[in-house]
Amino acid sequence: MMVIGKSARGIRVARFRSVILAGMMTASTLAAEQARKWMGEAQEGGAVLLYGLPQTDDVPVGFRCELPARAFVMTLSVDPDFEPKTGTVKLTVTAPPAVDQLVVDADIQFLPEMELTFLEARPAFDAAIARMLKQGTELKFTIGEKTFSYPLAGAAEAMGPVEAACAKPT
């Protein structure tokens, strides 16, 4: 019979705990990603299309239309450690299999009190954006070498209020 000393047993227990905690964190992250959904809503002064967990602040992607100007605003939450903290970056938006591509200047917004960093762009709402949200299977935001991807299942059904508010009158 092999006898394990207290210190060796403590190391094994600590490793086991760290493996279990890492698994729990991965499971909770996966659960959050699976519970996120696309939500569209008309509001006073405009409309929104959000991807996140209902009734929480977990909203990594958002679109809004501000009336009466029909200003279309796109936001993307990024890691709080994202650098730089100010300025503008080139943001490329795609939604395969749609072939459309949108390249915009996105302003970096950093809120230190909330440890929140997000990008904000103000492209014109057009047919290409509508096609990406309706026909794409995955929404991809690329900044340099880094890409953020979000499933588009449910976006086409939820985007009605934003499309109605921001579409150019015919």
pLDDT on residue 28: 41
Q: What is the pLDDT of residues 2-16, one digit of tens each?
A: 455 554 444 443 343
The strand pair at 61-66 and 101-111 is best described as unpaired
Owning domain of residue 6: 1-35
141 pLDDT above the threshold of 90: yes
Structural domains of the chain, count: 2
Instruction: Kindly state whether residues 43 and 26 are assigned to the same domain.
Output: no
Instruction: Kindly state whether residues 68 and 147 are assigned to the same domain.
Output: yes
Instruction: Kindly state whether residues 59 and 17 are assigned to the same domain.
Output: no
Residue pair 50/38 in contact (Cβ under 8 Å)? The answer is yes
What is the model's pTM? 0.78
Residue pair 133/72 in contact (Cβ under 8 Å)? The answer is no
Burial of 17 (0-12, 13-18, 19+ CB in 10 A): exposed
Instruction: Kindly state whether residues 103 and 160 are assigned to the same domain.
Output: yes
The strand pair at 61-66 and 46-52 is best described as antiparallel
Q: What is the pLDDT of residues 66-76, one digit of tens each?
A: 999 999 999 99
Instruction: Kindly state whether residues 29 and 64 are assigned to the same domain.
Output: no
Instruction: Kindly state whether residues 59 and 97 are assigned to the same domain.
Output: yes
